[in-house]
Amino acid sequence: MSCCAILVAAGSSRRMGFDKLAAPLAGKPVLRRTLEAFLASDVINHIVVVAPQDRFDALLAGEHSKPVTRVDGGQDRQDSVRNGLAAVPQDCDLVAVHDGARPLVSPTDIARCVEAARATGAAALARPVTETLKRSDAAGFARESVDRDLLWFMETPQIFRTSLLREACAAVMDRKLVTTDEVSALEAIGTPTRLIASVAPNPKITHPSDLLLAEALLRA
């Protein structure tokens, strides 16, 4: 089963105050490291990058070892994913949606997630919650513990049969829902997603300190 990756890289990086996807990470821009992880994966056949033309030209220009297509983003993440999905070749059986700001994803974890999606139709990388969780009151005082059993931090890639993701995206648009990831879109059509525990660090670059952490992980 062939698999196409959609790299979502259309955000404005408002929380960072600068273009985090262009930030240098051990000598390469964040977004280029993300692309290279998918270029290195044997289970990915085609890559669609959802990004502005100037960002693509500045960070990803050049020859690539497999087909790479660029499309514009939308107003929200789910709109950008829908734009990317429209550019996925018709012969791709699976679609892997990945945050452009997760540059440390390993080809091994990509392959494990693809294998699970082939078997179940929907799979996503995630990390089990291990920290103690508390619920506070409105004033910020801890009031009760939250059971962390069966709780996960969601990561990407999130990989689905192409027909399933198209159905889920259409349902989200028709119902005017707002979703923060594609697993939520699958939930809207009543389809569960198999969660695959990531075995390699896969942080999302959101704050400046995340760049320092990612740099340390790369150098280690």
What mean pLDDT comes out for the span 187-195? Answer: 97
Token code pair at residue 50: 């959802």
Domain residues for the domain of 165 are 3-219
pLDDT at 11: 83
Q: Which residue has the tokens 């259409």?
A: 170
pLDDT tens per residue across span 22-66: 999 999 999 999 999 999 999 999 999 999 999 999 999 999 999
Q: Which residue has the tokens 């962390």?
A: 148
Residue 210 burial (CB count, 10 A): 17
Query: CB-based contacts of 186: which residues, under 8 Å, 6+ apart?
Result: 122, 160, 164, 165, 168, 192, 193
CATH number at residue 76: 3.90.550.10
pLDDT tens per residue across span 72-131: 999 999 999 999 999 999 999 999 999 999 999 999 999 999 999 999 999 999 999 999
pLDDT at 14: 65
| Count of structural domains within the chain | 1
pTM: 0.95
